[in-house]
Amino acid sequence: MSLAMQITRRARLAGLMGEGIAVLPTSPELARNADTQFPYRFDSSFFYLSGFGEPEAVLVLFAGDLRRSLLFCRNKDVEREIWDGFRYGPDAAREQFGFDEAYPIDELDKMMPSLLENQPKLYATLGADPAWDSRLIGWLNEVRSRARTGVQAPKEILDLRSLVHEMRLFKDESELATMRRAGQISRDAHARAMSFTRPGQFEYQVEAELIHEFYRNGSRFPAYTSIVAGGANACVLHYVENNAELRDGDLLLIDAGCELHGYAADITRTFPVNGKFSAAQKDVYEIVLAAQYAAINAAKPGNTWNMPHDAALKVLVQGMLDLKLLQGSVDSVIESESYKQFYMHRTGHWLGMDVHDVGDYKLNGQWRELQPGMVLTVEPGLYLRPADNVPPALANIGIRIEDDVAIVAGGNEVLTAGTPKTVAEIEAVMAGQG
């Protein structure tokens, strides 16, 4: 991603603000235990606007006549860099990331009250982090305490997220290229997992294959904790223990995607542990697959957010009736929502730097229209738990099929295309013929 891109984004944001100041910190570091940290992940919006990936950094942006952008970041520190590695320091960061000014993060408390002085509006992210909120309020109170010198604190505090999230919802060509590559790496990871899976292996051994494929292609993290769920575990929607033995005759549901340069892929595939679908598994699988195709066909410009979900739901409900899981008509089942016993989640979400990405789903109370540049997942499923009195042959079948879809002029592009998906494709890959 080029430096010019973040400068352009900051300029666009300043234009949307019109006037005032925006303040946006990156994410804090998180302790895993004692003095060990979780791998660091920057705040997505901060990185989107700055390109700067170090912790302990704050972006300050002035709109209007004053238009300029400031970065607060860690100082160079020869001693710390011996232990923890390179840090830019303000001077190099200003140059490298195209800021007008950069200062040591240690100066933040001293400088912020003056920066806030006489700004008509403050754009902030109140509610994201209580510790940050109280610092911000402290700076505002410091400005107010100087009122007799003639300065004023911002009269309006507005939500910075609403502006940045709307920008992030529309991906440009370079973002789409990154997401396409993340989709391809994740595609290969799923194919690798299918080739590897055999009865008697443990879910974590299959997970290791996914991670191997991510890492060896330059993705340093899964975009979210991988779900590797054999048999009944597939009916636990957020199953992440991944520690059970895989049994002959069961299905394996894998929901896994890599993060590449800050962008997520999100793929689910479900396949037989022994490489061959049983008749009952195939019946259910074909229903979910038909629902997914129907939803993908409905993901196009001019349609609204809800239309892929509605298209998938009709197919799934007809399938529930055909399998005799429910009685009635498609309309009556949708009306009563009795389908939620077997399909309890929605058909997708926005996808981008966050796996459940930002962006409003409704505008003025109406499902929003799909437009080129938006990226969403399409992920129908069916979850048949014995507790729901399903016929024994169908019990513990949990199936979800998920792809990542970019809306383009006239239709869509499946960013995760090529991930084995039909019964024939999956069985061929598992037989070593894919």
Q: What is the set of active-site residues?
A: 35, 238, 255, 266, 345, 349, 356, 379, 383, 400, 402
Q: What are the tokens at 431? A: 């037989």
Tell me how far, at minimum, the Cβ of 341 lies from ligand GLY, in Å: 20
**Which CB sits closer to Mn ion, 57 or 227?**
227
Task: Measure the CA–CA gap between 206 and 189, rounded to whole angstroms.
Answer: 10
293 interface partner picked from Mn ion, ligand GLY, none, CB below 5 to 8 A per type = none
Task: Judge contact between 163 and 236, C-beta under 8 A.
Answer: no
Q: CA angle, 413 as apex, 410 and 415 as ends, to 5°?
A: 165
**Which CB sits closer to ligand GLY, 204 or 224?**
224
Task: Measure the CA–CA gap between 351 and 359, rounded to whole angstroms.
Answer: 10
Task: Measure the CA–CA gap between 318 and 342, rounded to whole angstroms.
Answer: 13
Tell me how far, at minimum, the Cβ of 121 lies from ligand GLY, in Å: 35
**Which CB sits closer to ligand GLY, 99 or 239?**
239
Task: Measure the CA–CA gap between 54 and 60, rounded to whole angstroms.
Answer: 16
**Which CB sits closer to Mn ion, 209 or 402?**
402
Task: Measure the CA–CA gap between 220 and 241, rounded to whole angstroms.
Answer: 21
Please report, as ranges, the residues that interact with ligand GLY according to CB under 6 A: 224, 255, 266, 349, 355, 379, 402
Choice from 43, 255, 354, 357 touching Mn ion (CB under 5 A): 255
Tell me how far, at minimum, the Cβ of 306 lies from ligand GLY, in Å: 17
209 interface partner picked from ligand GLY, Mn ion, none, CB below 5 to 8 A per type = none
**Which CB sits closer to Mn ion, 197 or 377?**
377
R_g (Cα) of the chain, nearest Å:
25
Task: Measure the CA–CA gap between 266 and 257, rounded to whole angstroms.
Answer: 4
Is 43 a residue that touches Mn ion (CB under 5 A)? no
Tell me how far, at minimum, the Cβ of 239 lies from Mn ion, in Å: 12
**Which CB sits closer to ligand GLY, 224 or 367?**
224
Element housing 182 (H / E): helix 173-196
Is 266 a residue that touches Mn ion (CB under 5 A)? yes
Q: What are the tokens at 147? A: 């009122």
Q: Is the dihedral of CA 391, 394, 395, 399 positive or negative?
A: negative
Q: What are the tokens at 131? A: 């510790």
**Helix locations, 217-329, DSSP H:** 279-298, 306-322
Binding-residue pattern over the window 390 to 419 for Mn ion, x denoting contact by CB under 5 A: ------------x-----------------
Task: Judge contact between 273 and 251, C-beta under 8 A.
Answer: yes
224 interface partner picked from ligand GLY, Mn ion, none, CB below 5 to 8 A per type = ligand GLY
Q: What are the tokens at 121? A: 């509006």
Backbone angles phi, psi at 34, to 5 degrees: 40, -120
Is 354 a residue that touches Mn ion (CB under 5 A)? no
**Which CB sits closer to ligand GLY, 207 or 255?**
255
Q: Determine the distance from the C-alpha atom of residue 229 to the mean position of all C-alpha atoms in its chain, rounded to a whole number.
A: 20
- CB-based contacts of 254: which residues, under 8 Å, 6+ apart? 190, 193, 206, 210, 226, 227, 228, 229, 268, 269, 270
Report how far apart the first and last C-alpha atoms of the chain are (Å, whole number).
34
404 interface partner picked from ligand GLY, Mn ion, none, CB below 5 to 8 A per type = none
Tell me how far, at minimum, the Cβ of 349 lies from ligand GLY, in Å: 6
Q: Which residue type, as a one-letter code, is found at position 381?
A: G
Is 259 a residue that touches Mn ion (CB under 5 A)? no
Residue count at the site for Mn ion (CB under 5 A)?
4
Tell me how far, at minimum, the Cβ of 81 lies from ligand GLY, in Å: 36
Q: Which residue type, as a one-letter code, is found at position 296?
A: I
Choice from 45, 119, 270, 377 touching Mn ion (CB under 5 A): 377
Please choose, out of 76-84, 137-145, 272-280, 370-378, the segment that lies near Mn ion by the rule CB under 5 A. Answer: 370-378
175 interface partner picked from Mn ion, ligand GLY, none, CB below 5 to 8 A per type = none
- CB-based contacts of 65: which residues, under 8 Å, 6+ apart? none
Task: Measure the CA–CA gap between 135 and 271, rounded to whole angstroms.
Answer: 51
Is 188 a residue that touches Mn ion (CB under 5 A)? no
**Which CB sits closer to Mn ion, 69 or 226?**
226
Tell me how far, at minimum, the Cβ of 180 lies from Mn ion, in Å: 17
Tell me how far, at minimum, the Cβ of 425 lies from ligand GLY, in Å: 21
Residues at the contact surface with Mn ion, assessed by CB under 5 A: 255, 266, 377, 402
